[in-house]
Structures are given as C-alpha cells and as structure tokens.
Chain A
Amino acid sequence: MGEYALGLLQKPDARGIERHLVWCAGCRKESGELQEGAASLGFSVPQFEPHPSLEWRIAGRLTGTQGSRKPSRRGFRVLVAATLAAMLGAVGAMSWAIAERNRVQSIEATINKQVDNITKLQELLNSFEKGQTKARHATLIARPGFRGASGLALIYPTANFPDLYLVSMKSPDDSGLAPYKVGLLDKGGVQVAGGEFVQTTGGLLSYQVSGEDLSKVTSVEVVDYLGRTVLVGKVSPTG
C-alpha cells in the first residue's frame, strides 16, 4: 500500500490495488492516509513561479479554444507589456501607412507622424508598466470555421495621450483570406475605429494612435477579405 501511495507500482499492480479499494473500506481509508503523507512531500519542495501565459494555455487547452479568455491580472500585465515591447521593436521593420482618414500628407509629415507615434507608444508603455494607464482589453475568440485563429485587443482611452488601440492576431490554420481588418464597435454595432492588419516580425498587427473616442467601444471584430467574421471579443475593463 505504501508503494501504491508513492506511485511506484507498475500499472497492472496498481490496477489490482484499485480494484481492491473499490470494495475494501479499511484499505481505502489507509490508502487515503498514506497518500496524504505522500502529497505533503510534494508540497515541501521550493516553490517556483510558472510563466504567466501557462494559465492561458491550460485554460485554452481545456476549453478547446486558443487565446482563451480573461487571464489573471498579473499575467495579463506581463503579456501586454511584452506585446507592446515586441510591437515597438517591430515598428522599424514595418511598412505601413498611418490611418489618417481623408488627409493627404507629405512624406516628411508621414515620417514625422511615425516618429511621433513611436514616442507616444513608448510613453504609453512606460505609463502602463507603472500602472498609470488603465487599459481595456478583449480576448478575441475564433468563430466556427476559423480554427487556429486568436487575438488580443488593447484599448487605451487615456486622458493624457491620444486614444490608442492595438490588436494582434494569429490567422486561422487553413481558412480565412488576408488582408484582415479589425473593427472596434460601440454597443450599437457601429464601427468607432478600425484598420487593416499588417505583417510584422511579431505577427499580424493593427494599431492606431489618435482617432476617435475609444471609451465607447464595447466589442472588437476581425473580418477577412471576404467580409467573413473571423474573430470576435467583448471588451472588458482591466484594473
């Protein structure tokens, strides 16, 4: 019984014990007590902190969806900071156009705008890490037929900076057609902001600095080239 409690028996022997335990209450009681003793050995080891994303991966695996729902607060902060940092690193490799609707800009102005936005993003990242900026987020879940797709949307309706949204996504395994577009919708389903995704070193990314008031955004939707909804997510506050 001690070997059984310590998990040392070969499977056939362990199964034999388990069959016995089904009908023998005395042995069942002893087995339980011995297993308690064994379990306390497991709790005696030095404790190490797993990576914050492990919770996400486990929940995703169990629920059968990728990019599962709301992560733990501490883990979320680490993930968001890492996402923003990766994005800042990827900006230099991107070729993109600022989404300034109906405005014609000179090349110089476009470059200056890019630099200006990078600076703003860095400042936002710093403020976020210090806990000064309250980001809202949406975990984007794949719609049926778009297996493998996932995404994360971050929204910063801040007082000191222009509103910013940042959406990263992973495209579906074998369906869905690029280019993908993201829409930030209000509760009436009207698009408040949005744009196309671009390929970066960190994956597919869409973001916009300045623009509309993003505090009224309640949901996020990603559609493919054919207008089919690939990802959806409800925006929740992040403390």
Chain B
Amino acid sequence: MTFGREGPLSRESEQELMQALAAGNEDAIRTLYSRFGRPVYSLGMRLLGSGEGAEELTQDVFLAAWRKAARFDSNRGRLSTWLMAIAHNIAIDRLRHEKGAGRPSLVFVDEMPEPAPTEEEDALLERDRARRALAALSPAERHLLSQAYFQGWTAREIAEAGGIPLGTVKTRLRAALIKMRAANTEQARAVAGVADGEAL
C-alpha cells in the first residue's frame, strides 16, 4: 500500500494511513513525515528555540504518533490537528520541565537558520490560511493566544499577569479559538469553491 505525499488527504485516507502506521508500515511512516515533519520541526524551533530541541521534539512526536496511531479516529478530527496537538503538548511539557515548575518564558531566538527558501504548495496554503485566521482576531485576542499557545501560560497565569478575571480569560481564549477555526473553515471553503469553479 502506498500513500500520496502531496495534496489533501480524505478522512478515510487519514484513517488508513494511521492504521498502516500502527502496523509499522514504513511507507506510512515516511508519508506522515513528508507531510508533517517540517511543520512539527518548525513549531519546535518556535517554542524551544534550537535545532537540537526541534529535532528531539520531532522524533518524540512521531514516536508518540506511532504509539497512539491505533487510537486516532478521523471522525473526531483531522490528522493535522491531532499531530499538532501532540507536538504542542510535548513541547510545552519540555519547556516547563526545563524552566522548572514555573512559567515558561518566551523564547527569543537571536540566531536561527534561515526559514526554508521554498515550501511545497500545500504547506504554503496551510500557513497562509493560518496567518489569515490570525489576522481575523483582535490584537488583544492574538496576544492572549500567543501567551497561551507559544508561551504555555495557563489561564490563571494570564489572568494574574493582566489583572483580568480568570473567567474572562477562559471565555476569551475559547472565543479566540472558535474565531480561528471559523476563519480557517471559511477560507478552506472559499478555496474549494474556486477549485470547483475552475473544474466546471
């Protein structure tokens, strides 16, 4: 069984891919890596601030994905969401562990390798969609999500730092994520609509 390494995957294909991964199919491993290796590594660079940290994270993420592959359910969500959640959770755990039990600090990376000079079209579209979704948020919402997602601050920590009621922070976080998802979905529909129009 071979899997495409480019182009969108249907939910059925994602389920098949993960079943093959659970069975130790090497083509499935390489397909998963070709599709998500770079985004996971890049998230590692952003959160952990070093190539070494990003490489370790990427290895751990794919190992975790392999171990949990049998539990992946495409009816519950997309593979990209599932994998990114694993990556983010491991990275934040690592940040917390390295900084002690306290709040992870924002990693300012002074020297980082140049970003990839070219990106495959799918990766470009994905990132473009994500950035447009971010642009749909207010500056306050972006700041809130940045503290939570990229710095790993809990709602309580954000509330204490900003002097905002805890309940308000939780509500705003939830609202911001819903906005992100809605903007993403709208863009995906628009692209699909254009593609259908071109096909006619």
* A and B found bound together: yes
Please list the residues of chain A having a beta carbon within 8 angstroms of any beta carbon in chain B. Answer: 1-3, 5-9, 28, 32-51, 54-55, 57-59, 61-63, 68-69, 72
- Could you say which of B26, B115, B177 contacts A38, with CB atoms under 8 Å apart? B177
What 7 A-B pairs have minimum CB-CB distances, sorted nearest first?
Answer: A37-B177, A37-B180, A44-B130, A37-B181, A2-B174, A39-B84, A2-B173
Give the secondary structure class of A's interface. helix
CB distance from A58 to the nearest CB of B (A): 5
B115 contacts A34, C-beta separation under 8 Å: no
Known: A34-B174, A41-B145, A58-B33. 13 other contacts (CB 8 A): A2-B173, A3-B148, A3-B173, A7-B92, A7-B152, A8-B92, A36-B181, A42-B39, A43-B80, A45-B42, A47-B116, A48-B45, A51-B55
- Could you say which of B33, B113, B178 contacts A34, with CB atoms under 8 Å apart? B178
Q: Which residue of B lies closest to A28 (CB)?
A: B76
Q: How far is the CA of A9 from the CA of B34 in the complex (A)?
A: 30
Task: Given A36-B184, A46-B115, A50-B41, decide whether A57 and B59 contact each other with a Cβ distance below 8 A.
Answer: yes
Q: How far is the CA of A51 from the CA of B116 in the complex (A)?
A: 11
CB distance from A122 to the nearest CB of B (A): 28
Question: C-beta contact mask, B163-193 vs A, less than 8 Å → 1, else 0?
Answer: 0000000100110111111001000000000
- Could you say which of B26, B87, B115 contacts A48, with CB atoms under 8 Å apart? B115
Q: Which interface class (under 10, 10 to 19, 20 to 34, 35 or more) fits B?
A: 35 or more
Q: Which residue of B lies closest to A38 (CB)?
A: B177
Please list the residues of chain B having a beta carbon within 8 angstroms of any beta carbon in chain A. Answer: 24, 26, 29-30, 33-34, 37-39, 41-43, 45-46, 51, 54-55, 58-59, 62-63, 66, 76-78, 80-81, 84-85, 87-89, 92, 112-113, 115-116, 119, 123, 126-127, 129-131, 133-134, 145, 148-150, 152-155, 170, 173-174, 176-181, 184
| A-chain residues with CB within 8 Å of residue B78 when the two chains form the complex | 36, 39
B55 contacts A50, C-beta separation under 8 Å: yes
CB distance from B34 to the nearest CB of A (A): 7
Q: How far is the CA of A59 from the CA of B41 in the complex (A)?
A: 15
Q: How far is the CA of A3 from the CA of B37 in the complex (A)?
A: 25
Q: How far is the CA of A97 from the CA of B173 in the complex (A)?
A: 70
- Could you say which of A1, A3, A35, A72 contacts B85, with CB atoms under 8 Å apart? A35
